């Protein structure tokens, strides 16, 4: 049985089947932006996307999330634009679910 390429892959070669694999780091405090990083430590792209949020009454609230063009284009080329979009959207949704929004809100309060 021929196995079809069904998984999201980083241009560095790392296959990302499970959205749990992404590294999520919060460094850009002023921008209220969370970076989505490739699980491969020696990846030349490193940043694959971002999640932005607002602080409303001390609580972090999801604003938008997106992957960067090199990552999207790479996967569209491999899987087809439609399929890549569906898979990537699902990944973003699941990454956003992993974020501890309550804790994020508290961190922001302490920083101010
Ligand atoms: Zn990579």
Nearest to 34 by CA among 86, 103, 99, 78: 99
pLDDT tens by residue, 63-83: 999 999 999 999 999 999 999
The Cα 16–Cα 61 span in angstroms is 26
**Is residue 41 classed as helix, strand or coil in its secondary structure?**
coil
The Cα 43–Cα 31 span in angstroms is 24
pLDDT tens by residue, 27-62: 888 899 999 999 999 999 999 999 999 998 888 999
Higher pLDDT, 40 or 100: 40
CA 109 – ligand 1 centroid, Å: 33
CA 112 – ligand 1 centroid, Å: 34
Is the CB of residue 24 less than 8 Å from the CB of residue 95? yes
């Amino acid at each position: 049985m021929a196995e079809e390429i069904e998984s999201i892959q980083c241009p560095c070669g790392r296959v990302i089947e499970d959205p749990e694999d992404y590294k999520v780091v919060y460094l850009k405090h002023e921008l209220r932006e969370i970076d989505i990083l490739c699980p491969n430590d020696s990846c030349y792209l490193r940043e694959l996307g971002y999640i932005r949020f607002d602080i409303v009454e001390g609580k972090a609230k999801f604003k938008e999330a997106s992957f960067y063009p090199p990552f999207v284009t790479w996967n569209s080329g491999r899987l087809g634009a439609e399929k890549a979009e569906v898979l990537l959207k699902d990944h973003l949704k699941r990454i956003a679910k992993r974020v501890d929004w309550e804790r994020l809100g508290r961190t922001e309060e302490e920083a101010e």
